[in-house]
Amino acid sequence: NAGVMQNPRHLVRRRGQEARLRCSPMKGHSHVYWYRQLPEEGLKFMVYLQKENIIDESGMPKERFSAEFPKEGPSILRIQQVVRGDSAAYFCASSPWDGGRYEQYFGPGTRLTVT
Amino acid sequence: AQSVAQPEDQVNVAEGNPLTVKCTYSVSGNPYLFWYVQYPNRGLQFLLKYITGDNLVKGSYGFEAEFNKSQTSFHLKKPSALVSDSALYFCACLVEYGNKLVFGAGTILRVKS
């Protein structure tokens, strides 16, 4: 059973460009979470999605960031007009259903560098 | 608001000695508590969790953690450290029926031979 897949693993963007980060959850998992890890910091929750629904986006910046988890295909975290402060590691996690009793399984992360 | 504190930025221990990585939490409901480990340039690997039941939880790679409700702590322990245990350890909390993990800042564990 493959784990959580994320691509690309490394992404370099110039300021003002768009970044698209992809996440394929573990087989059988219908809940996806995105976290951001800034340099020298712990992970911060960004958004929680189920298929075709955003359940909790309380950790998402108000502008430039969006996320989706379509009926078919991976979950996408999209950052428009990137700035240097967006440079971070972005981790996706998945769980079988509501996170309560079930641990979240993390992907290897996408390291975004904005130049 | 819930929070997790890991009071030590770094823990140093000699190989073969017992290790403890500390974690305290603050939540308004029943907490679900987790420990994850992160190796350089890798994702987080799940070690163990406390949901309910026995206060002593056993996990992967010989690690265990003790839930202490009165002290709101969930310290990670291992009886005999290995050099390969050197990594970044995160404690995290999920409120019952909640969805998002709240992480501590992380503790670097260095095990020296």
pLDDT digits (tens, 9 = 90+) for A37-87: 988 778 999 999 998 999 999 999 999 999 999 999 999 999 999 999 999
In percent, the amount of chain B with pLDDT more than 70 equals 96
Best to test chain B binding among A104, A105, A110, A112 (most B CBs inside 10 Å): A104
A59-62 long-range contacts, Cβ below 8 Å, gap at least 24? A59/B100
B51/A101 CB distance under 8 A: yes
Distance in angstroms (rounded) separating the CA atoms of residues A42 and B107: 10
Query: Which of the four pLDDT bands, split at 50, 70 and 90, describes residue B108?
Result: very high
Name the residue with tokens 């050099």.
B83
Higher pLDDT, B26 or A28: B26
Q: What mean pLDDT is predicted for residues A84-106?
A: 85
Distance in angstroms (rounded) separating the CA atoms of residues B33 and B51: 7
Q: Determine the pLDDT at residue B28.
A: 82
A115: number of Cβ within 10 Å = 10
Q: How far is CA B19 from CA A27, B5, B63, in A?
A: 35, 18, 10
A59/B36 CB distance under 8 A: no
Q: Determine the pLDDT at residue A74.
A: 96
Q: Determine the pLDDT at residue B99.
A: 79
Query: Which of the four pLDDT bands, split at 50, 70 and 90, describes residue B64?
Result: very high
Q: Does B45 touch chain A (CB under 8 A)?
A: yes
Q: Which residue from B32, B90, B103 is facing A100, i.e. has the nearest CB?
A: B32
Q: Is pLDDT above 70 for B96?
A: no
Best to test chain B binding among A6, A32, A36, A43 (most B CBs inside 10 Å): A43
Q: Does B36 touch chain A (CB under 8 A)?
A: yes
Six token digits for residue A102: 């079930």
Six token digits for residue B3: 């929070």
> What's the angle, vertex CA A36, arms to CA A40 and CA A7, rounded to 5?
115
Question: Which 3 state secondary structure label does DSSP give A85?
Answer: helix
Shortest distance between the Cα of A79 and any Cα of chain B, in A, equals 21
